């Protein structure tokens, strides 16, 4: 995932160019890449017209492209009205969000007056030699409401690789999340993060403390980093969290109440006096949030209570928008705690 700052019209063209290139990396053909370019253009134009500028996050991955537009502007008093074709508050033709809704396969919006706006759009490629497949990809199916784990993962400004990483696994009993922050940033941090992710994948069926211990032992050849694993047990309605270093974990209840989790001091790969898992009650209608220290810990779920029933990707985007330190890699991972 990468970020494009949008504060003047020239950056809209840059965002369009980079989104088109990202679509190509994700396997999009000429037609669907052109649709991605249009969605990026409309989102960035809206950032300028209505949000007083903002940022576009672009994530190409396995035949999909996620675009997240974030601003801190005045917000939308009526989201559904703004999504309709022909609606405009800026004297334009009003094709922005209406066009995004037509072109993207999934669209979610969170916005309140005075709180800014987050828009997530997912585009899916198709076999463009097959007219039926292309027609299905162009036709917008129902919005994705809840599926798996959602994340924002952005490198430090000026870096081409991210020293943070995340992954997850699931079985019939529950879901496990893993987050790593390689020490420092840049290539060496990314190598440490990749080694930690490989160790997690080898041990993903283990308990969180065993995963963290295995990662600690498995990345000694790297510069190391902070790591944490969390396991949601659906039947037991609990989450077990184990960490080394400053990966933050929190449960956000439907009321917005936030329960922070405990991580042990140390650096995976180098210094770990003790690895311990802590168990917390976990209702099925809560959200589990984990993030690296590129996101400050000053946030509280109460501030975002109105959007906790929205798509988890929007909360990840909002936390990045409001609490990214701007001088480090930054990762936010969000998942629902209930059984799918």
200 and 259 housed in the same domain: yes
State the CATH number of the domain containing residue 275.
3.60.40.10
| pLDDT reported for residue 81 | 55
**Measured distance CA(227)–CA(180) in Å, rounded:** 4
Q: Answer yes or no: do 201 and 280 share one domain.
A: yes
Do 186 and 326 lie in one domain? The reply is yes
Same domain, 88 and 158: no
Residue 134 belongs to domain with CATH number? 3.30.565.10
One domain for residues 160 and 137: no
Q: Of 115, 143, 171, which residue is a domain's last?
A: 143
Report the C-alpha gap between 66 and 144 in whole angstroms: 13
Please count the other Cβ atoms lying within 10 Å of the Cβ belonging to residue 197: 19
Do residues 138 and 168 both lie within one domain?
no
- The SS3 call for residue 221 is coil
pTM of the model: 0.88
pLDDT for position 101: 87
Q: Which two tokens stand for residue 173?
A: 């009993």
* 134 and 78 co-located in one domain: yes
Rounded distance between C-alpha atoms, residue 226 and residue 156, angstroms: 16
Do 128 and 179 belong to one domain? no
**85 and 199 part of one domain:** no
Final residue before a domain boundary, out of 86, 110, 143: 143
Dist CA 191 CA 281 (whole Å): 35
pLDDT of residue 77: 66
CA angle 194, 198, 199 (to 5 degrees): 120
Per-residue model confidence (pLDDT) at position 93: 39
Q: Which domain holds residue 227?
A: 147-336
Number of domains the chain is built from:
2
pLDDT of residue 146: 44
Say whether both 91 and 163 belong to one domain.
no
Same domain, 152 and 187: yes
All residue ranges of the chain with pLDDT < 70 are 77-96, 126-147
pLDDT of residue 312: 92
In this prediction, residue 130 carries a pLDDT of: 54
- End position of a domain, from candidates 143, 160, 189: 143
Distance between CA 282 and CA 317 in Å, rounded?
23
Interatomic CA distance for residues 193 and 198, integer angstroms: 9
Q: Give the separation between CA 32 and CA 27, rounded to whole angstroms.
A: 10
Angle between helix 30-51 and 96-103 (nearest 10): 150
**C-beta separation of 249 from 260 below 8 A:** yes
């Amino acid at each position: 995932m990468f970020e494009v700052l949008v504060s003047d019209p020239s950056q809209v063209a840059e965002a369009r160019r980079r989104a088109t290139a990202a679509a190509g990396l994700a396997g999009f053909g000429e037609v669907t890449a052109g649709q991605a370019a249009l969605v990026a253009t409309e989102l960035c134009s809206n950032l300028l017209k209505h949000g007083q500028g903002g940022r576009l996050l672009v994530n190409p991955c396995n035949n999909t492209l996620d675009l997240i537009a974030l601003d801190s502007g005045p917000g939308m008093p009526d989201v559904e009205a703004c999504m309709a074709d022909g609606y405009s508050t800026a004297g334009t033709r009003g094709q922005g969000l209406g066009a995004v809704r037509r072109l993207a396969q999934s669209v979610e919006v969170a916005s309140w007056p005075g709180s800014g706006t987050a828009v997530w759009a997912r585009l899916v490629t198709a076999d463009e030699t097959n007219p039926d497949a292309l027609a299905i990809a162009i036709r917008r199916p129902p919005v994705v409401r809840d599926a798996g784990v959602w994340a924002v993962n952005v490198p430090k400004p000026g870096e081409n690789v991210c020293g943070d990483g995340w992954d997850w696994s699931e079985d019939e009993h529950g879901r496990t999340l893993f987050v790593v922050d390689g020490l420092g940033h840049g290539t060496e941090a990314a190598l440490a993060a990749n080694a930690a992710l490989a160790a997690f994948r080898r041990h993903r069926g283990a308990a969180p403390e065993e995963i963290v211990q295995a990662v600690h032992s498995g990345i000694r050849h790297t510069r190391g980093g902070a790591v944490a694993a969390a396991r949601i047990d659906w039947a037991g309605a609990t989450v077990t969290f184990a960490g080394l270093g400053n990966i933050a974990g929190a449960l956000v209840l439907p009321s917005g109440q936030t329960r922070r989790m405990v991580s042990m001091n140390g650096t995976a790969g180098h210094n770990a006096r003790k690895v311990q898992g802590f168990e917390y009650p976990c209702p099925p209608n809560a959200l589990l949030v984990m993030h690296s220290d590129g996101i400050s810990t000053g946030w509280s779920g109460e501030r975002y209570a109105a959007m906790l029933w929205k798509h988890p990707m929007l909360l990840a985007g909002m936390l990045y928008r409001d609490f990214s330190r701007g001088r480090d890699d930054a990762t936010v991972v969000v998942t629902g705690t209930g059984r799918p």
